[in-house]
Amino acid sequence: MAAVTAYVDSSVVLRRLLRQPGEIENWSRWNSIVTSELMQVEALRSLDRLRVMQVLSESELVKKIALLTTSSRFYETIPLRSLVLKRAGGPYPASLGTLDAIHLASAQLWIEHNDQELTFVTHDRQLGLAARVCGLDVAGDSAD
């Protein structure tokens, strides 16, 4: 059986960290997880925003950041290099914001570099649509 790799975006990591409904279950179906270096920044900003909005207390924030840091050790991280940014700045067949384009470009370049398929996992419907249109296998509730 071939190794199965998943690319996870920030929506997947945050939903899991925050124990929100619909979080991805059964992560063991993937042999490895990859993500963009961007994911850590997005997750930290979102967690801090929840603190400022008083959805998370200071102590809850510290615990979530520790959990994020620990879980991130298990992900292969794709650096934000000029090649990723150049690809993200190019045209896509579906409308994408900047950060979503960076996630999709990171996944595409990982596939090209490793000559291996991966499952693109997101809860963002527009990003999931763009990934599907680009020929990627998509999982998460965006895959409906």
Do the domain assignments include residue 60? no
pLDDT of residue 141: 73
Do the domain assignments include residue 62? no
- Say if residues 67 and 17 touch (Cβ distance below 8 Å): yes
pLDDT of residue 54: 96
Q: If pLDDT is split at 50, 70 and 90, which confidence band does 3 have?
A: low
pLDDT of residue 27: 87
Do the domain assignments include residue 113? yes
Do the domain assignments include residue 43? no
C-alpha closest to that of 144 among 6, 9, 22, 14? 22
* pLDDT 10s digits, 78-128: 999 999 999 999 999 889 999 999 999 999 999 999 999 999 999 999 999
CA–CA gap between residue 14 and residue 39 (Å, rounded): 9
Do the domain assignments include residue 45? no
Q: How far is CA 88 from the centre of its chain?
A: 15
Number of domains the chain contains: 1
Do the domain assignments include residue 63? no
The percentage of residues in the chain with a pLDDT greater than 90, rounded to a whole number, is: 88
pLDDT of 144 strictly over 60: no
* pLDDT 10s digits, 27-84: 888 999 999 999 999 999 999 999 999 999 999 999 999 999 999 999 999 999 999 9
pTM value is 0.92
Do the domain assignments include residue 125? yes
95 is in which domain, residue-wise?
Answer: 5-38+75-143
